[in-house]
Chains A and B, each alone.
Chain A
Amino acid sequence: MKINMAIRTHMRRSPYQTFAAILTMFVTFLVSGFFFLITVASAQILRYFESKPQITVFFEDTAGEKEATSLKLALEATGQIASTEFVSKEDALVIYREQNKNDPLLLEMVTADILPASLEVSATDPKYLSTIEPIIQKADGVEEVVYQRDVVETLLSWTSAIRSVGGSLALLLIINSLLIIMTVIAMKVALKREEIDILKLVGASLWYIRLPFVIEGALYGAIGAFGAGSILAGLIIWLRPFLLTFVGQVPSIGSLLYDPVGASLVLATAGFVVGMVGVGVLLGGIGSLIALARYLKF
């Protein structure tokens, strides 16, 4: 009997166990996949904020390039500044337009007058920020100072919390899936004990007997992972407009989500599903192998 026939027979004869194994794999991959996407996205967001200037100084409406230049000179005199860049009201409008180019309503309501001019400052080392801060606070025309450090620290704590909770949950579900696969395969080995004994006696190698069970376990993993991966990929595409407004300013995410039928989004979602299926095959195969090592010996 060919291997695919053997697997079909195994699955047909114990449909409830088959369904339980696939469903468990599906839930595992749905939850793990979700947390994986969140972790990857938050890492991208974190990297984006880390790459931004460490301090952004916003000036009052009455202040402008003169105040910015004097602050720039005061900061550069410390010798601890890596770079500074003045963003005028007009420049701010250009940036705003670029960020909101897909929302004409927002563009109509804004002019350069209501946007503040700013000075973006990066220190040669984050440890110098404490000596730079007092100079900025004392400068004329400063309205607000935004420290990326605060944003990054908040994001970092969120990311690490998500990673811990998601990782623990995924680990628990993976262990659960392995145990279910092992139980189902062990049950099938027990059901086919007589056939296995006959196969051994007529000279079948251990792998000839094992292979259908290993492929069956891998198939459970693949089907469960494919279902979960497809749903998550579908969700990304469905939630794309919402995600774009929420995290679209992060270049790596924005460029990925910008075009709903773009090659990058299609490739990324397809790669994600294929990757999930690959892990599913591995997980199911390993579960089967553990069960076989325990219950199928020569």
Chain B
Amino acid sequence: MIRFDNVTKSFFGHSAALTDITVQIQDGDFVFLIGPSGAGKTTFLRLIIRDLLPTKGKVFVGGQEVNILPVSNIHLLRRKIGTVFQDFKLLTDRTVFENIALVLEILGKTPHEIYHGVRDVLELVGLSDKANFFPLQLSAGEMQRTGMARAIVGGPGILLADEPTGNLDPETSLGILHTLEEISKLGTTVVMATHNVDIVNTFKKRTIALHQGRLVSDELKGQYKIYTKPKAHAVKHRT
């Protein structure tokens, strides 16, 4: 479970990126985090993986308060969370197989476990035939699926996806979403930040909307709405 208790995040010299956010995401949920650029979606995700610390409030992941986690234990939190990025963040000098295997190496798995673990996720994301390709030999969609495979290979309980379809065409984006759905069905909590209207309206999942750093809507089977002004009184919290 992910929980934000009155979380505010301000950056020095700038207005607050997130203001007084209180939200709870249950295990196994599939949640769209929507809002325009600058709404605070990426800040929301970075707080979950303790890439940022909140200015005010508390962030809990799996019952553990992330804010007070010692620096020496941050990696243990991140091993429970898979992350997919808009710009893929793949190591260009390593093959698809090696990029995915990296996570299992970090977890201290044996070569046998690594081989089978990587093969399994490559099959899940449909890249079995591209294992020995380098990222620059892949299409954008294939790179994103490699990123997804890397995010899930360690069996994380939570998968965060920051605009995973931002650089992809509509057809490929749909493919990515179907894969995320499959991952979610396996029991993984999926939080996907997006401003892709079509995807949000097509898949009809729980939708948390942010606007100018404020939570403006939290609906089951939500639709993408354009907010011009945050209306705190209109927020429907789902607990």
Chain A residues engaging chain B, CB cutoff 8 angstroms: 1, 9, 194-195, 197-206, 208, 298
Contacts and interface: CB of A to CB of B under 8 A. Distances in A.
B49 A298 contact: no
Contacts of B90: 198
Contacts of A208: 75, 106
Nearest to B101: A1
Given A1-B98, A202-B78, A195 B91 contact: yes
**Looking at chain A's contact residues, is the secondary structure mostly helix, strand, loop, or mixed?**
helix
A202 B72 contact: no
Pick the 4 closest A-B CB pairs, nearest first.
Answer: A203-B79, A203-B78, A205-B75, A204-B106
B143 interface: no
A91 to B, nearest CB: 73
Given A298-B71, A298-B74, A202 B91 contact: no
Interface in B56-102: 71-72, 74-76, 78-79, 83, 89-91, 93-94, 98, 102
16 contacts: A194-B89, A195-B91, A198-B89, A198-B91, A199-B102, A199-B106, A202-B78, A202-B103, A202-B150, A203-B78, A203-B103, A204-B75, A206-B75, A208-B106, A298-B71, A298-B75
Interface residues of B, number: 23
A199 B74 CA distance: 12
A202 B106 contact: yes
Given A1-B98, A298-B74, A201 B106 contact: no
Given A1-B105, A195-B91, A298-B74, A203 B154 contact: yes
B22 to A, nearest CB: 26
Given A1-B98, A298-B71, A203 B91 contact: no
A203 B105 contact: no
